[in-house]
A and B are shown apart, each in its own frame.
Chain A
Amino acid sequence: MNLTLYVWRQKNADDKGRLEKYEAKDINHHMSFLEMLDVVNEDLIEQGIDPIAFDHDCREGICGTCSLIINGRAHGPELATTVCQLHMRHFKDGDRIYIEPWRARAFPVLKDLVVDRSALDRIMQAGGFVSVNTGGAPDANALPIPKKNADTAFDAAACIGCGACVASCPNASAMLFVSAKVSQFAYLPQGQVERKARVDRMVKQMDMEGFGNCTNHYECEAACPKEIKVKFIAKMNREYMRAVVAK
Chain B
Amino acid sequence: MKLVNPANKRKFSAIVVGSGLAGASAAASLAELGYNVSCFCYQDSPRRAHSIAAQGGINASKNYQNDGDSTWRLFYDTIKGGDFRSREANVYRLAQVANNIIDQCVAQGVPFARDYGGLLDNRSFGGAQVSRTFYARGQTGQQLLLGAYSALSRQVGRGQVKMYPRTEMLELVVVDNRARGIVVRNMVTGQISSHAADVVILATGGYGNVFYLATYAKGSNATAAFRCYRKGALLANPCFTQIHPTCIPVSGDYQSKLTLMSESLRNDGRIWVPKNVGDKRHPGEIPEEERDYYLERKYPSFGNLAPRDISSRSAKEVVDEGRGVGETGVGVYLDFADAIQRLGKSVIEERYGNLFQMYERITGEDPYTVPMRIFPASHYTMGGLWVDYNLESTIPGLFVAGEANFSDHGANRLGASALMQGLADGYFVIPYTIGDYFVRVGVSDIKADHEEFKKTEREVEDRMKKLLSINGKRSPATFHRALGKIMWEKCGMGRNEGGLKEALRDIPALREEFWQDLKVTGDNEELNQQLEMAGRVADFLDIGEVMCHDALDRAESCGAHFREEYQTEEGEALRNDKDYCHVSAWEYTGDGRPPALHKEPLVFENVELATRSYK
The 8 A CB mask of A31-54 against B (1 = contact, 0 = none) is 110110011001001001111010
Residues of B within 8 A of A64 (CB): 47-48
- Bound together, the chains give a CA A9 to CA B52 distance in angstroms of 30
- Shortest beta-carbon distance from A100 to chain B in Å: 17
| Residue A89 is within 8 A (CB to CB) of chain B in the complex | yes
| Residue A229 is within 8 A (CB to CB) of chain B in the complex | no
- Shortest beta-carbon distance from B251 to chain A in Å: 4
Taking a contact as CB atoms under 8 Å apart, the answer to whether A147 and B139 are in contact is: no
Taking a contact as CB atoms under 8 Å apart, the answer to whether B45 and A35 are in contact is: no
| Residue B12 is within 8 A (CB to CB) of chain A in the complex | no
| Residue B107 is within 8 A (CB to CB) of chain A in the complex | yes
- Bound together, the chains give a CA A147 to CA B165 distance in angstroms of 36
Tell me which residues from 113 to 171 in chain A have a Cβ below 8 Å from any Cβ of chain B: 114, 116-118, 120-121, 124-141, 143-147, 150-151, 153-154, 157-158, 160-161
- Bound together, the chains give a CA A138 to CA B139 distance in angstroms of 24
Choose the segment among B25-33, B393-401, B552-560 that binds chain A (4+ C-beta atoms closer than 8 Å). Answer: B25-33
| Residue B297 is within 8 A (CB to CB) of chain A in the complex | no
For B260, the closest partner residue in chain A by CB is: A60
Taking a contact as CB atoms under 8 Å apart, the answer to whether B118 and A111 are in contact is: no
The 8 A CB mask of A159-198 against B (1 = contact, 0 = none) is 0110000000000000000000000110010110000000
Tell me which residues from 217 to 254 in chain B have a Cβ below 8 Å from any Cβ of chain A: 217-219, 251-252, 254
Using known A-B contacts A85-B361, A121-B45, A141-B119, determine if residue A129 contacts B107 with beta carbons closer than 8 Å: no
Pairs A-B, 7 closest by C-beta atoms = A144-B118, A137-B107, A125-B157, A129-B150, A137-B103, A154-B111, A140-B106
Taking a contact as CB atoms under 8 Å apart, the answer to whether A157 and B111 are in contact is: yes
Taking a contact as CB atoms under 8 Å apart, the answer to whether A138 and B526 are in contact is: no
For A161, the closest partner residue in chain B by CB is: B47
| Residue A62 is within 8 A (CB to CB) of chain B in the complex | yes
- Shortest beta-carbon distance from B562 to chain A in Å: 27
- A89-B364, A157-B143 known, 12 other contacts, Cβ within 8 Å: A28-B252, A45-B475, A45-B521, A51-B521, A60-B260, A111-B526, A124-B150, A125-B156, A141-B119, A147-B118, A157-B111, A161-B48
- Bound together, the chains give a CA A147 to CA B115 distance in angstroms of 6
Residues of A within 8 A of B117 (CB): 144
- Bound together, the chains give a CA A136 to CA B108 distance in angstroms of 11
Taking a contact as CB atoms under 8 Å apart, the answer to whether A138 and B107 are in contact is: yes
The 8 A CB mask of B245-272 against A (1 = contact, 0 = none) is 0000001101111011000000000000
Taking a contact as CB atoms under 8 Å apart, the answer to whether B118 and A57 are in contact is: no
- Shortest beta-carbon distance from A20 to chain B in Å: 15
8 of the cross-chain contacts (CB-CB < 8 Å) are A42-B477, A60-B215, A60-B259, A85-B362, A120-B45, A124-B150, A134-B431, A137-B107
For B220, the closest partner residue in chain A by CB is: A57
Residues of A within 8 A of B252 (CB): 28, 30-31
- Shortest beta-carbon distance from B69 to chain A in Å: 14
| Residue B581 is within 8 A (CB to CB) of chain A in the complex | no
Taking a contact as CB atoms under 8 Å apart, the answer to whether A140 and B477 are in contact is: no
Interface bracket on B:
35 or more
Using known A-B contacts A134-B151, A145-B118, determine if residue A81 contacts B43 with beta carbons closer than 8 Å: no
- Bound together, the chains give a CA A12 to CA B522 distance in angstroms of 13
- Shortest beta-carbon distance from B265 to chain A in Å: 16
Q: Which of B64, B153, B254, B259 contacts A124 (CB 8 A)?
A: B153
Residues of A within 8 A of B120 (CB): 140-141
Residues of A within 8 A of B362 (CB): 32, 85, 87
For A129, the closest partner residue in chain B by CB is: B150
- Bound together, the chains give a CA A137 to CA B82 distance in angstroms of 31
Residues of A within 8 A of B104 (CB): 132, 134-135, 137
Using known A-B contacts A146-B118, A153-B111, determine if residue A59 contacts B106 with beta carbons closer than 8 Å: no
Using known A-B contacts A65-B43, A133-B32, determine if residue A59 contacts B257 with beta carbons closer than 8 Å: yes
Taking a contact as CB atoms under 8 Å apart, the answer to whether A130 and B107 are in contact is: yes
For A120, the closest partner residue in chain B by CB is: B45
| Residue B73 is within 8 A (CB to CB) of chain A in the complex | no
- Bound together, the chains give a CA A62 to CA B354 distance in angstroms of 13
| Residue A58 is within 8 A (CB to CB) of chain B in the complex | yes
Residues of B within 8 A of A29 (CB): 364
Residues of A within 8 A of B358 (CB): 61, 85
Residues of B within 8 A of A135 (CB): 100, 104, 427-428
| Residue A63 is within 8 A (CB to CB) of chain B in the complex | yes
- Shortest beta-carbon distance from B587 to chain A in Å: 32
Residues of B within 8 A of A42 (CB): 475, 477-478
- Bound together, the chains give a CA A50 to CA B531 distance in angstroms of 12
| Residue A235 is within 8 A (CB to CB) of chain B in the complex | no
The 8 A CB mask of B91-128 against A (1 = contact, 0 = none) is 00000000010111111110111111111100000000
- Shortest beta-carbon distance from B162 to chain A in Å: 12
Taking a contact as CB atoms under 8 Å apart, the answer to whether B108 and A190 are in contact is: yes
For B49, the closest partner residue in chain A by CB is: A63
Residues of A within 8 A of B361 (CB): 78, 81, 85, 87
The 8 A CB mask of B21-45 against A (1 = contact, 0 = none) is 0000100110010000000000111
Residues of B within 8 A of A132 (CB): 104, 107-108, 151
- Bound together, the chains give a CA A51 to CA B527 distance in angstroms of 11
- Shortest beta-carbon distance from B276 to chain A in Å: 26
Residues of A within 8 A of B43 (CB): 57, 63, 65
Taking a contact as CB atoms under 8 Å apart, the answer to whether A62 and B142 are in contact is: yes
- Most chain-A CB neighbours within 10 Å: which of B108, B137, B143, B526? B108
Using known A-B contacts A51-B530, A85-B361, A185-B109, determine if residue A58 contacts B149 with beta carbons closer than 8 Å: no
